[in-house]
Amino acid sequence: MPANDKNRKQSPSSTMSTLTHSDGAGGARMVDVGDKQHSARYARAVGIVRLSAKGVEVLAQKKAEKGNVLATAQLAGIMAAKRTSELIPLCHNLPLSQVALLLELDEQNASVNIEARCKTFAQSGVEMEALTAVAVAGLTVYDMLKSVDRGLRITEIKLLEKSGGASGSWKLN
């Protein structure tokens, strides 16, 4: 085991302060999770797509030229979560047991609110899958509405909570 791996496993605080995806020379490396215990893991992420009044109108009346925007974005987000390890370098391939994606038009705030919840029983966390699901769902909304709403903005993509593994549970305050 490399020296930096030994140091990283000494305490939770040292794990947080050590970069785990680079070697001593600054090169990229995939973290070895082979010795970690499998555990139930969960992550929840959110994001927002900001719309113009025209974008809200098209979504509310279900008149987008490309079809059902929210259903298509939901499917795209689920598919993206399943392919996260192909999109994010050094991300482990996980056996996802659940990807739930909710997209909701908020007419009052001129936005589409996106929430992803991912579960697995694995040796690595599932945060990247939840974040990827939200990001790709937002990009899909953007793609499907860009012809009627040039000012679309994908904002506030963030992890809200995660659980499982040695680091335990975490929630954004």
- The residues that are catalytic are 143
How far apart CA 63 and CA 141 sit, in angstroms, is 13
How far apart CA 173 and CA 167 sit, in angstroms, is 17
Cross-strand bridge partners of residue 41 = 120
CB 96 within 8 A of CB 79: no
3 state DSSP class of 67: coil
Task: Count the helix, strand and coil residues of the chain and give each as a percent rounded to the nearest 5.
Answer: 35, 30, 40
